Amino acid sequence: MACQNPLPLSQTVTSEMTLFELDESLSLLMESATEAAADNNGEIPEELRQALLDYCEAFGAKVDNIANYIKSQEFEARNARIEIDRLQRRQAAAENKVERLKGLLKYFMESRGLRCMKGRLNTI
């Protein structure tokens, strides 16, 4: 059985947190970093520094994911619009064929003095 490597923290955070949660966490981390720097002569502990980097990376990844999803949905809407236009043209062509055929039948029947025509299954 293959061993799976755990996802990096930024990818885990990106997939498990909303944009709002990431923003709130980043704000709290920034406050903690500011306090830590004030308490340690401007130095931010490495653990806190790494957490800030991970959350900033996760925030950027979340923004990219959202932007890509928006683009995907815009593409989907564009394709649907193109398909709607194609189907409307197809509908109009079919309706025009029906009208032309009805006109041809009317002309044929009137020119021969017919009130109706019967087939095995249909009567016109």
pLDDT (tens digit per residue) in 64-118: 999 999 999 999 999 999 999 999 999 999 999 999 999 999 999 999 999 999 9
Q: Please check whether residue 42 lies inside any domain of the structure.
A: yes
Tokens representing residue 63 in the block: 């923004």
Q: Please check whether residue 17 lies inside any domain of the structure.
A: yes
Give the SS3 label for residue 115. coil
Q: Tell me phi and psi for residue 8, to 5 degrees.
A: -60, 155
Burial of 25 (0-12, 13-18, 19+ CB in 10 A): middle
Tokens 């996760």, residue?
Answer: 58
What is the domain range of residue 32? 9-91
Q: Please check whether residue 107 lies inside any domain of the structure.
A: no
Q: How many domains does the chain have?
A: 1
pLDDT in tens, 7-49: 556 677 778 888 899 989 999 999 999 988 888 888 989 999 9
**pTM reported for the whole predicted model:** 0.64
Element (H, E) at 62: helix 46-111
